[in-house]
Amino acid sequence: MAALTRLLESSWTRVVIGVAIGVVLVLLPLSSPAFTNQTITRIAVFAVAVLGLNIIMGYAGQVMLGQIFFVGVGAYAAAITVRSDWGAALGFWGVVAAFVLAVLVPGVMGLLVALAAARLRGLAIAMVTIALPIVGVPVAKRLSDITGGSQGISARVFGAPEWTGLDNDQWQYYVVMTIAAVVFALAFFLVRGKYGRAFAIVKENEAVAASMGISPYRYKVLAFTIAAMFGGVAGFLYIAAIQFTSPETLSFGHSIELVIATIVGGAGSIVGSILGGIYYVLVPQLTNAVNPNATAVVQGVIVLVVLFVLPGGLASLPRAIRRLVRRKRGPDVAGPAATERRTPEGITPGAGDALPPRENEERQNR
């Protein structure tokens, strides 16, 4: 048992597992049915969206209920560029331009919103972020000359080019997965580095952060902008995978669904973002197979059951198992308290619990 635990915890094992997964992911689309590829592609799209949300909610601790707005804006930027005359004329470079715009436009919007809102307290930021999708939908409808109005825009430019010999779904899979992998790698290094540590300190106690010379305002703005840019990338990938967008894409309901996916997957965790994407895409498909009339009930039950058993989200499963194992071993091994305070990945808490209780503050900040 101890040997197995040591084996599982060794970083070398992790590398092996990682490489094996990588190989599987690269070769999978060549041999699996189209629907599987399409599903995995969609999972990657929303995993990136959840990742952006995770940066701001899980790591920086700010409630953000408007992520879908940035996804939608990115999707629109990509679709409009690709369908425009100049974009279509540029061919491949048009698609690249679409990607760039899909990142920049939401990023700039996120920056502006953050500059205005980051000085407010938690609950206020939450409400401002709620405003984004809610006001975004009627605005998207008003600008119907650009956005195509309530009927939406179709953007089918991601057919597989002739020279690859791939099917459409395989090509889309590779494009989306490659971009997603790059984004995830970026995020991984971001949270392991000084920014990740700064986010964590701002999340725990802003006063402490300020006294350490870390400006909460600056880092909140940064986290917000990064989340918006990731959302924009997800929007581009959305167009690559779904090839259609409409004002409905930005609606508030989906923002809530993204938050659910983030928490159920595991906030403050890179792996959790992937699990969140899997949850977002697979659960409706599964509930459809079980009973198409009962999709809402089954989804609600799944959320509650997952959170009940694993309040830290699905990504905390290994931790939960470890705790169970440790507890079984005996009372001399003191495990952490039953109520789990989540410590984001990559940040190691100092010796002893030097952090102040969150209760009081969180009540104000909500």
Helix (H, G, I), strand (E, B) or coil at 123: helix
Asked if residue 341 binds other proteins (CB under 8 A), the reply is yes
User: Which residues inside 38-97 make contact with other proteins, applying CB under 8 A?
Assistant: 38-39, 42, 57, 63
CB of 332 to other proteins, least distance (A): 26
- DSSP letters for 34-72: HHHHHHHHHHHHHHHHHHHHHIIIIIS------HHHHHH
At closest approach, how far in Å is the CB of 284 from other proteins?
A: 6
Interaction between residue 139 and other proteins (CB under 8 A): yes
Q: Which two tokens stand for residue 85?
A: 């005359």
In the stretch 277-316, what mask flags binding to other proteins with x, by CB under 8 A?
A: ----x--xx-xx---xxxxxxxxxxxxx--xx--xxx---
Q: Which of 7, 16, 96, 212 binds other proteins (CB under 8 A)?
A: 16
Question: How many residues touch other proteins (CB under 8 A)?
Answer: 96
Classify burial at 60, counting beta carbons within 10 Å of its beta carbon; exposed 0-12, middle 13-18, buried 19 or more: buried
Q: Which of residues 203-232 bind other proteins (CB under 8 A)?
A: 205, 207-208
Q: Least separation, in Å, of the C-beta of 353 and other proteins? A: 14
- For residue 50, the Cα-to-chain-centroid distance in whole angstroms is 1
The number of C-alpha atoms within 13 Å of 149 and in the hemisphere containing its C-beta is 3
Calculate ∠ Cα 215-110-182, nearest 5°.
90
Shortest approach of other proteins to residue 351 CB, angstroms?
22
Which residues are paired to 202 by β-bridges? Answer: none
Query: Which letter, b or e, does each residue of 195-213 get, where b requires 16 or more Cβ atoms within 10 Å of its Cβ?
Result: bbbbbbbbbbbbeebeeee
Segment 246 to 265, residues that bind other proteins, using CB under 8 A: 246-249, 252, 254, 256, 259-260, 263-264
Pairing type for strands 244-245 and 153-154 reads antiparallel
Measured CA to CA, the distance from residue 107 to residue 65 in angstroms comes to 16
Stretch binding other proteins (CB under 8 A), from 1-9, 127-135, 173-181, 194-202: 127-135
Q: How far is the CB of 257 from other proteins (least distance, A)?
A: 9
Least distance to other proteins from the beta carbon of 316, Å?
10
Site track for other proteins across 153-182, x = CB under 8 A? -x-x----------xx--------------
**Looking at beta carbons only, is 15 or 181 nearer to other proteins?**
15
366 touches other proteins by CB under 8 A? yes
28 binds other proteins (CB under 8 A): yes
Q: Which residues contact 75 (CB under 8 A, 6 or more apart)?
A: 102, 235, 236, 238, 239, 245, 249
- For the bound state, the minimum distance from the C-beta of residue 102 to other proteins, rounded and expressed in Å, comes to 17
242 binds other proteins (CB under 8 A): yes
Interatomic CA distance for residues 52 and 337, integer angstroms: 29
Contact region for other proteins (CB under 8 A) — 180-188, 269-277, 323-331, 334-342?
334-342
Shortest separation between residue 281's beta carbon and other proteins, angstroms? 7
If the CB atoms of residues 57 and 78 are measured against other proteins, the closer one turns out to be 57
3-state secondary structure of 245: strand
Please list every residue from 95 through 114 that binds other proteins, using CB under 8 A. none
Closest CA to 235 of 223, 220, 246: 246
CB of 132 to other proteins, least distance (A): 9
